[in-house]
Amino acid sequence: MHTLNVALGHRSYPIHIGAGLLGRSDLLLPHIHGRQVLVVSNETVAPLYLDALIGALSGYHVATCILPDGESFKDLQHLDRIFTCLLEQRFNRDCTLIALGGGVVGDMTGFAAAAYQRGVDFIQVPTTLLAQVDSSVGGKTGVNHALGKNMIGVFKQPNVVLIDTDVLTTLPARELKAGLAEVIKYGLIRDLPFLAWLEQNIPGLLAGDASLLAEAIRQSCENKAAVVAADELEKSDLRALLNLGHTFGHAIETGMGYGAWLHGEAVATGMLMAADLSMRLGWLSADDVLRVRTLLVRAGLPVDPPQMAVEEFLQHMSVDKKVKEGRLRLVLLQALGHAVVSEAPPELLCATLSAGSALGVLK
Ligand code: NAD
Ligand code: GLY
């Protein structure tokens, strides 16, 4: 087992990564302070892993809240179900919420924990690769709005993140690939040696090699923890760099209808769009962009944006959280391994948005 630390002063917390951690009460119980525990999961994950987790909680008053599965249920209406479960059980302020699931369950559970009685404890037990390498760490929580992705939420750090790598054996291949998009992101924004490691090991990762996946999770969490420790609340542009590809990607997710494209798929295409725009700005070479494209394609990720009008892209992008004084700012690449937040000339942005399948292959 590897243990990393997210260094946030008195709110610091460990990330435990290893096989068979789900039932490890010794890792969970030190972070639960009252006797009431609500495990939030969904109808896909609960039948697979709820019993093992509950087995580690003997002696506690454990209730469960099982949500419908899907990004399209990550909304205020379904968030309310968690509050109903808490109130029906008469849970009080010393209760703990445990998120057992992917990023959707994690984001919703964290938001509920932040709001219930003005804040109760919360633990992340992520079960997708994407949640293990990204969403479970760092305390961004929230839900979607019909008009914008992740537009309603708060920062709420968990007490501990428990990453059981065994659960990845049941993850559908498409979800594993979507998680790899966020893994590749760390290489592109700040860790060139990791990018090269990924290029070498992508076949093994896709084949589900457990030790390679554990190593990818460890390196991703190390990168994420370092960024979060330096800029927890995204006050500077540092944490915003974690959003490479997300402004384009969120526009795809919102525009195509939540759930049509997986978050990681939209981020993958968005990262190539960001690389393409960086090339148009003269920062990346065509070979650099081809290198990004090749890795994403080898990881089985989509690189062609959907048929969406430039105006529609721009409309969805205009509600991005990085917009300042009405001006769109994007995460772009000054070099591979070195991301920056920058505005872009409208004509270059429009060229990227209208490039379609030519994206990233212009010479
Ligand atoms: P998800 O939560 O929808 O999970 C993907 C699918 O895998 C679901 O059908 C789920 O039921 C299933 N699943 C989960 N674990 C499984 C397992 N072990 N075996 C079999 N099936 C399993 O999607 P996701 O990709 O985990 O997360 C995407 C969400 O995370 C998006 O809403 C995105 O906005 C959010 N996100 C948040 C942050 C953050 O910092 N908070 C970062 C990145 C993404
Ligand atoms: N996933 C982006 C962030 O946590 O900041």
Q: How far apart are CA 266 and CA 8, in angstroms?
A: 30
Q: List, for residues 310-337, the tens digit of each pLDDT value.
A: 999 999 999 888 888 888 999 999 999 9
**Contact between 125 and 99 (Cβ < 8 Å):** yes
Picking from 324, 305, 328, the residue whose alpha carbon sits closest to that of residue 316 is 328
- Of 170, 188, 210, at which residue does a domain stop? 170
Q: How far apart are CA 65 and CA 270, in angstroms?
A: 33
Q: Could you tell me if 229 and 265 lie in one domain?
A: yes
| Residue among 144, 150, 159, 243 flagged as catalytic | 243
Q: Could you tell me if 65 and 183 lie in one domain?
A: no
pLDDT confidence of residue 363: 47
- Across the chain, which has 363 residues, the per-10-residue mean pLDDT values are 97 98 96 98 98 96 98 97 98 98 98 98 98 98 93 97 98 98 98 98 98 98 98 95 96 93 98 98 97 98 96 92 87 98 96 89 60
What is the C-alpha R_g of the chain? 20
Q: Could you tell me if 163 and 195 lie in one domain?
A: no
pLDDT confidence of residue 356: 86
Residue 114 sits at the vertex; the CA angle it makes with 171 and 144, to the nearest 5 degrees, is 55
Find the 363 Cα to ligand 1 centroid distance in Å. 36
Q: What is the residue with the minimal CA distance to atom 39 of ligand 1? A: 135
The tokens of 171 are what? 């993850």
Best residue for ligand 1 mutational test, from 50, 74, 135 (most atoms within 8 Å of Cβ): 135
**Contact between 130 and 264 (Cβ < 8 Å):** yes
**Contact between 244 and 189 (Cβ < 8 Å):** yes
- Note the ligand closest to the C-alpha atom of 240: 2
Contacts of 235 (CB under 8 A, 6+ apart): none
Ligand 2 binding pocket includes 221 (Cβ within 6 Å): no
Quick one: how far is CA 259 from the chain centroid? 15
Picking from 203, 141, 182, the residue whose alpha carbon sits closest to that of residue 270 is 182
Ligand 1 binding pocket includes 185 (Cβ within 6 Å): no
Q: Could you tell me if 117 and 231 lie in one domain?
A: no
Q: Could you tell me if 155 and 101 lie in one domain?
A: yes
Q: Could you tell me if 349 and 281 lie in one domain?
A: yes
Domain of 350 in residue numbering reads as 177-361
Q: How far apart are CA 292 and CA 303, in angstroms?
A: 10
Q: What is the residue with the minimal CA distance to atom 30 of ligand 1? A: 103
- Note the ligand closest to the C-alpha atom of 132: 1
- pTM for this predicted structure: 0.97
Q: Could you tell me if 74 and 122 lie in one domain?
A: yes
- Note the ligand closest to the C-alpha atom of 131: 1
Q: Are strands 2-6 and 13-18 parallel, antiparallel or unpaired?
A: antiparallel
Using CB atoms within 10 A of its CB, is residue 244 exposed (0-12), middle (13-18) or buried (19+)?
buried
Phi and psi torsions of 38, nearest 5°: -110, 120
CATH code for the domain of 27: 3.40.50.1970
Contacts of 13 (CB under 8 A, 6+ apart): 5, 6, 31, 157, 158, 159, 160, 161
Find the 362 Cα to ligand 2 centroid distance in Å. 30
- Of 131, 147, 170, at which residue does a domain stop? 170
The tokens of 278 are what? 């960086």
Q: Could you tell me if 119 and 241 lie in one domain?
A: no
> Within 13 Å and on the Cβ side, how many CA atoms surround 157?
20
| Residue among 232, 234, 253, 265 flagged as catalytic | 234
The domain tally of the chain equals 2
- Of 142, 170, 198, at which residue does a domain stop? 170
Q: How far apart are CA 244 and CA 268, in angstroms?
A: 9
Q: Could you tell me if 156 and 9 lie in one domain?
A: yes
Q: Could you tell me if 6 and 131 lie in one domain?
A: yes
pLDDT confidence of residue 246: 96
Q: Could you tell me if 184 and 296 lie in one domain?
A: yes
Q: Could you tell me if 147 and 188 lie in one domain?
A: no
Q: Which atom of ligand 1 is nearest to the CA of 253?
A: 34
Q: List, for residues 176-228, the tens digit of each pLDDT value.
A: 999 999 999 999 999 999 999 999 999 999 999 999 999 999 999 999 999 99
**Contact between 16 and 161 (Cβ < 8 Å):** yes
